[in-house]
Amino acid sequence: MNNDTVTIIDNNTGKQLVCPIKRGTHGHPVIDCQDLPKTLGMFTFDPAFMTTASCESAITYIDGDEGILLYRGYPIEELAVKSSYLEVCYLLLYGELPTCQQMDDFTLAVKKYTLVHEGLLHFYRGFRHDAHPMAMLVGVIGAMSGYYPDALDIKNPEHRNRSALRLMAKMSTVAANCHRYLIGRPFAHPRNDLGYVENFMNMMFSIPSEPYQLNETANRALELILILHADHEQNASTSTVRLAGSSQAHPFSCIAAGIATLWGPAHGGANEAVIRMLQDIEDPKNVYNYIKRFKDKDSSVRLMGFGHRVYKNYDPRAKIIRESCHQLLHELNAEHLPLFEIALELERIALEDEYFIERKLYPNVDFYSGIILSALGIPLNMFTAIFALSRTVGWVSQWSEMMEEPNLRIARPRQLYIGAAQRKFVPMEKR
Ligand code: CMC
């Protein structure tokens, strides 16, 4: 008997299926049950994909119990202190850390694509003055699917690479200009003499009438946020990008689908929701009573910035960013501003509360990234757009990996139908 199998037996019919167990480099083995419908005439039932491995991937590894996150095998803790965001992008996209020459070439290649077509500005102008930047990002990035006829062949690796570089480069210009449009500033052009983060900050905050003073502390903090959010294996938005990509849709529209998914408060929208919640608390002395509502069995409201589907001990990104967050608040002398006092009090109380301890609910990366972005003066409605900026490389890396699969098939989950049984149509006059 092969030990690397699991046998599924249908107790009604006695039929059996021997399923191979597949083992990856790290992590839980998976049961390959692809023959289930053919052999037993059944599907698996796994709402919210709690136990389903949807693909093979060599990009990112998470061990939720141990709090481990690896990009291409490298621990996030090391990348956070030793790498730049663009170096991490290279690693995620191509699988290896770059040499000096490769890094220079890559940086130049990204810069080459930072400008956006002037025609896109019309799309911005169609939005209301109070539109959410994520709505604009979904629309403008989706619209870009119609702009680059030189990279339409998704089977061609060169075309795919061009699309990947374009998306990473242009996302920064598109995101910054969402903010500028909403506050009535003229559209900004990228400055290719600046680094990736500096260029983004310059496009966000510069005005034509005076030079913008770049701030080293702010740039460093933002760079860390970008590194920590760059990829996170098969999360909701990445799975959406893969699902859309499996139909062989245009990469820009696949990324637009990913942006739409990221927007939700259970996912990337949490960084914005955290700050709205802190504002709602108003005073550190209200924290104790405020969090009672999250523990109520009959309520579905959740403490924003706490908990994670995969990390059940701690989020390693949160551990890194927590330190940087406390240091930044200290450096900016912002620890005693009311919003941050509330955040620190909430962190303290929730970490000592039985409800959160029992359920292994710890602050996640977005609890701290929300606080950092707020301390840096980034407008609240731009927080999730910055998450999208950072995650673009993860999305395109995962999309590219999927497009290389020799037997790529359209993704198509099944269902357990619980609706009406087949019945006869009754003409309207007889109902
Ligand atoms: N506040 C209060 N209770 C919670 C929370 C929370 N934030 N998160 C989970 N729980 C409770 C949940 O009600 C359940 O309780 P019980 O066992 O009594 O029914 C228990 O903890 C287990 O939770 P779960 O439903 O299995 O958790 P999940 O894996 O379905 O949800 C989550 C994960 C991230 C959606 C959820 O924790 C949440 O909504 N957190 C707040 C939103 C947030 O911060 N999201 C950002 C995630 S990190 C960035 C990213 O990856 O996008």
pLDDT digits (tens, 9 = 90+) for 234-288: 999 999 999 999 999 999 999 999 999 999 999 999 999 999 999 999 999 999 9
pLDDT band (50, 70, 90) for residue 299:
confident
**Dist. CA 297–CA 303, nearest whole Å:** 13
Quick one: tokens of 381?
A: 């409605």
Atom 20, ligand 1: residue with shortest CA distance: 359
Long-range CB pairs of 122-126, under 8 A, 24+ apart, other chains included: 124/177, 124/178, 124/181, 124/187, 125/181
Q: Is 416 helix (H, G, I), strand (E, B) or coil?
A: coil
- On average, the pLDDT of the chain sits at 94
**What mean pLDDT do residues 109-129 have?**
95
Give catalytic status of residue 366 as yes or no.
Answer: yes
Q: What is the pLDDT of residues 180-192, one digit of tens each?
A: 999 999 999 999 9
- The answer, yes or no, to whether residue 300 has pLDDT greater than 90, is no
- Among 229, 231, 308, 315, which one carries the catalytic annotation? 308
Q: Exposure of 192 by Cβ count < 10 A (0-12 exposed, 13-18 middle, 19+ buried)? A: middle
Q: What is the pLDDT of residues 35-63, one digit of tens each?
A: 999 999 999 999 999 999 999 999 999 99
- The answer, yes or no, to whether residue 214 has pLDDT greater than 90, is no
- The answer, yes or no, to whether residue 162 has pLDDT greater than 90, is yes
pLDDT band (50, 70, 90) for residue 83:
very high
**What mean pLDDT do residues 146-164 have?**
93
Give catalytic status of residue 63 as yes or no.
Answer: no
Which residues does a 6 A CB cutoff place in the pocket of ligand 1?
232, 235, 266-268, 270, 294, 302-309, 359, 361, 364-366
In the chain, the amino acid numbered 127 is F
- The answer, yes or no, to whether residue 1 has pLDDT greater than 70, is no
pTM over 0.85: yes
- The answer, yes or no, to whether residue 426 has pLDDT greater than 90, is yes
> Quick one: which atom of ligand 1 is closest to the CA of 302?
1
Atom 15, ligand 1: residue with shortest CA distance: 359
- The answer, yes or no, to whether residue 2 has pLDDT greater than 80, is no
Atom 8, ligand 1: residue with shortest CA distance: 307
CA of 135 to the centre of ligand 1 (A): 25
> Quick one: which atom of ligand 1 is closest to the CA of 367?
44
